[in-house]
């Protein structure tokens, strides 16, 4: 009986211990597996979340930076190009305006300068040409007047000599006048008046004609006195 109880107790303890250990180990293993899975899943979830967050942040930052850089570069380039184009257009406009203004100004200046130069040159040319012509005409007139004056002087001298000779001939030889039927004797007053008239030397044509007429009269008188006809 004692042995039977002992065996029974041993069997019972063995079964109990087996079941207990089995259950305990099973539970432990399950718990470990569960914890392991839990930790694994947690770690996986954490890793996934971290990766997602990282990717999200990366994409957010990337997109933000990309958009910022793109917008900045776009705006910068747009503004820069706009400013450059505006400055270029304004510069070209101002440059062309100044260039056209300067060209027009220079054209007008050169035109006026050439006009004034030509006008002044023509004025000087005409003035000098006129003065030269006047000088030449005056010189020619003086030369001609000198010749005429010389001829008139010769005529006057001849007339004076003939008048004196005629007066002397008429006063000293009245018989000669009566013989040849000459005109009346020339008195000394006539001689003095002829001398006074022939001392006047004028260069007009009328006076030259008068001198010629007087010379012709004197020559006619001298011819009548000598030859009697």
Close Cβ partners of 205 (under 8 Å, ≥ 6 residues apart):
none
| Model confidence pLDDT, tens digit, residues 110-148 | 888 888 877 777 777 777 777 767 766 666 666 555 555
Q: Does the pLDDT at position 77 exceed 60? A: yes
Residue entry with tokens 């304004």: 90
Q: What is the mean pLDDT of the chain?
A: 68
Q: Does the pLDDT at position 191 exceed 60? A: no
Give me the pLDDT at residue 188, please.
Answer: 43
| Model confidence pLDDT, tens digit, residues 100-115 | 888 888 888 888 888 8
Of all residues in the chain, what percent carry a pLDDT higher than 90? 0
Cα dihedral 171, 173, 178, 180, rounded to 10, equals -120
> Residues 159, 211: contact at Cβ < 8 Å?
yes
Residue 228, φ and ψ in degrees, nearest 5: 80, 15
Q: Does the pLDDT at position 194 exceed 50? A: no
Q: Tell me how far CA of residue 50 lies from CA of 39, 40, 43, 63, 117, in angstroms.
A: 15, 15, 10, 19, 94
pLDDT confidence of 183, banded at 50, 70, 90? very low
For the ranges 15-24, 37-46, 129-138, 145-154, which has the lowest average pLDDT? Answer: 145-154
Give me the pLDDT at residue 181, please.
Answer: 47
């Amino acid at each position: 009986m004692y042995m039977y109880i002992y065996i029974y107790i041993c069997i019972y303890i063995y079964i109990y211990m087996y079941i207990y250990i089995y259950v305990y180990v099973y539970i432990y293993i399950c718990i470990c597996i569960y914890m392991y899975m839990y930790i694994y899943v947690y770690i996986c979830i954490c890793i996934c979340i971290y990766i997602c967050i990282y990717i999200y942040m990366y994409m957010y930052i990337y997109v933000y930076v990309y958009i910022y850089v793109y917008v900045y570069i776009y705006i910068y380039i747009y503004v820069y190009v706009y400013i450059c184009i505006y400055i270029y257009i304004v510069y070209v406009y101002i440059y062309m305006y100044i260039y056209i203004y300067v060209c027009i100004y220079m054209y007008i200046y050169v035109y006026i300068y050439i006009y004034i130069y030509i006008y002044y040159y023509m004025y000087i040319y005409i003035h000098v040409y006129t003065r030269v012509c006047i000088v030449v005409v005056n010189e020619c007139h003086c030369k001609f007047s000198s010749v005429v004056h010389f001829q008139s002087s010769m005529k006057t001298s001849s007339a004076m000599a003939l008048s004196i000779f005629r007066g002397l001939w008429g006063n000293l030889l009245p018989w000669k006048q009566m013989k040849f039927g000459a005109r009346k004797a020339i008195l000394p007053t006539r001689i003095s008046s002829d001398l006074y008239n022939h001392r006047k030397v004028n260069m007009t044509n009328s006076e030259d004609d008068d001198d010629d007429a007087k010379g012709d009269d004197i020559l006619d008188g001298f011819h009548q006195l000598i030859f009697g006809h």
